[in-house]
Structure 1
Amino acid sequence: MIGVFDSGYGGLTVLAALHARLPRQRFLYLGDNAHAPYGPKSGAEILALTQAGVERLFHVGARVAILACNTATAAAIRPLQQAWLPVHYPNRRILGVIAPMIEEIAQTPWHATAGPDEKRRPVETVAVFATQATVESGFYPREIALRAPNIAVIQQACPELAGMIEAGAPEAALRATVVGHVGALLQRLGRAPDKAVLGCTHFPLVEALFRNALPLETQILSQPARVAAAMVAYLFRHPEMKDFAPEVVEPLCFTTGDAAAVSVLASRFYGRHLRFQTVDSGPRESSETLLDA
């Protein structure tokens, strides 16, 4: 099985894209709604919560865990991949949602680095709208600069937006918040960015608001679609990680929050009914406890 982890509802945008591309693949989804949003938390908190979430997914059978959260990916993926996974789960894998976006923006493979054009002047501008923690990590500008130094990255923190989406805020309030952040970035930049990245998986849930606020000439890159395409390619390279059912199968969904309340809002975001089960938000449980919750 493939596990998808997020701080709350945002990862549903990735799950939907994955399920559309791989409808017979068995997926598990875990939203840490009890601790959402992750954006205002410290790096140590995000790492601890992400590790606990991934471990829950492993204990219900996931062989691959996708961090469907930019904040969790920026803060946790390297220590988990490099120090934790080899010791505790050497036969499992953890993937993030930022690397496919970096590849899309830089138009180069993740393991490639910049060539002799390092001193070229920027010829393209990419705006990144993200949580406070993702912006402060510098993950996007640092990794893009390594691969495509001719791309200028300008970031805009939207610290309250993920929390507003989690709380089911009215559209008028969401629109005002998005307009404010887009306006702040445009004022600093002084022109329309060539491309925009919604660098929090919650933000595609209000992509229409970003589209209306951004200049028409700015292209919005779809992170869920790019992650799904990368997952298809990953399974082609690693067929042992596939777990296909004979027919279309719906994902199993878990939350550390209130299952009934989460199911209602998640189903609205996902576009069809999802039934969540509650797991304890404390230390990880056995696989039996998770599946029987």
Structure 2
Amino acid sequence: MIGVFDSGLGGLTVLGALARRFPGVSFVYLGDHARVPYGDRASDEIVDLTRAGTEALFRQGCRLVVLGCNTATAVAARRLQQEWLPATSWKAEGRNVLGIVAPTVEAATQTPWAVTSPQYPQKFLTDRIAVFGTTRTIASGVYAEEIRKRCPKVTVIQQVAAELAGAIEHGSDEVELDRLVKRAIDGVLAQSDGEPPHRAILGCTHFPLVEHLFRRHLPPATRILSQPEVVADSLEDYLSRHARYTEGGERHSEPVLFTTGAPDAITERARIFSQAPVSFSRIEI
């Protein structure tokens, strides 16, 4: 089984892409809705909460956990992978945790994550890459840092779209969503003297739900990198080399959904994010 952890509901877009790509794999989703949003919390607290959510999914039988949240990945993934997990019995059992920043950077730079210094031809690339995200994700600087490691001549334009995720989750109408998307794109253009980006990273797992609005306001030549499909592509490659992570555990025909919040309320809000009916159960972490 594979787990997907998020502080809220945006990770359901990642879960949906993974479930479609791997119909024979069982998935368990955990949203920490009792403590969302993570963006206002201290880094150490985000690390602790992400670790607790990951352990809860391990206890459910998941051998691999994907952090379907940019804030959790940006702040906690490296510490969990390099410091926490190697010191636990989970590592000895072959468990692992992955984030969603690495596959997104790989897609943006066309460079494997393991390559952390400029290589030909990427070291000569002079494209513009826009990163749209929440305040905490952009403030972390993780996308700009990791892209520039691999493509030092690329111009990375970071743009906070602070209100967009909340507007999506609360079911704002398309007119309001279109206004917020256009405002974010205008912010990018203002930083680049009106020159559009060659690639645009939708660095929040809520944003794929309004990808058509980004497409409306960006020129056709701009390639939009939407994380659910990028993560699915990356995981397909990963599982081709580590098939053991899909073995064992209880088999489920549909993803199992857990929340630390109120199940009925979360189930109702989740309809915005899922193409199929969903039902959450409560869990403590």
The match for 2:254 is: 250
User: SS of 2:271's equivalent?
Assistant: helix
The match for 2:215 is: 211
Distance 1:248 1:29, change over 3 A: closer
Supply the distance in 1 between the matched residues of 2:179 and 2:248 (Cα, whole angstroms).
43
**How far does residue 152 in structure 1 lie from its aligned partner after superposition?**
1.6
**How far does residue 240 in structure 1 lie from its aligned partner after superposition?**
1.3
Could you tell me which amino acid in structure 1 is paired with residue 147 of structure 2?
I
Supply the distance in 2 between the matched residues of 1:117 and 1:240 (Cα, whole angstroms).
34
User: Which residue of 148, 151, 176 maps to 1:148?
Assistant: 151
Could you tell me which amino acid in structure 2 is paired with residue 25 of structure 1?
V
Could you tell me which amino acid in structure 2 is paired with residue 238 of structure 1?
H
Distance 1:172 1:92, change over 3 A: same
The match for 2:47 is: 47
User: SS of 1:33's equivalent?
Assistant: coil
User: Which residue of 109, 120, 136 maps to 2:112?
Assistant: 109
Q: Please show how residues 24-63 of structure 1 align to structure 2 within 5 Å.
A: 24-63=24-63
Q: Report if the CA contact (8 A) 1:102-1:143 is conserved.
A: yes
User: Which residue of 172, 175, 179 maps to 1:172?
Assistant: 175
Q: Please show how residues 41-120 of structure 1 align to structure 2 within 5 Å.
A: 41-88=41-88, 89-90=90-91, 91-112=94-115, 113-115=117-119, 120=124
Structure 1, residues 61-116: CA drift from partner, whole Å, max 9, x if none? 11111001111101000111111111122131000111111111111111112137
**How far does residue 5 in structure 1 lie from its aligned partner after superposition?**
0.6
Structure 1, residues 254-287: CA drift from partner, whole Å, max 9, x if none? 112221122123233211101111123xxx2xxx
How many residue pairs get aligned? The number is: 280
**How far does residue 170 in structure 1 lie from its aligned partner after superposition?**
3.2
Supply the distance in 2 between the matched residues of 1:70 and 1:183 (Cα, whole angstroms).
23
Alignment partner of 1:263 is 2:267: yes
Supply the distance in 2 between the matched residues of 1:173 and 1:56 (Cα, whole angstroms).
37
Could you tell me which amino acid in structure 2 is paired with residue 209 of structure 1?
L
Alignment partner of 1:11 is 2:11: yes
The match for 1:162 is: 165
RMSD between superposed Cα atoms in Å: 2.1
**How far does residue 128 in structure 1 lie from its aligned partner after superposition?**
0.3
Alignment partner of 1:279 is 2:258: no
Question: Which segment is superposed worse, 36-45 or 156-165?
Answer: 36-45
Query: TM-score of the superposition, structure 2-length normalised?
Result: 0.91
Q: Structure 2: 5+ residue runs without aligned partners?
A: none
Question: Which segment is superposed worse, 177-186 or 37-46?
Answer: 37-46
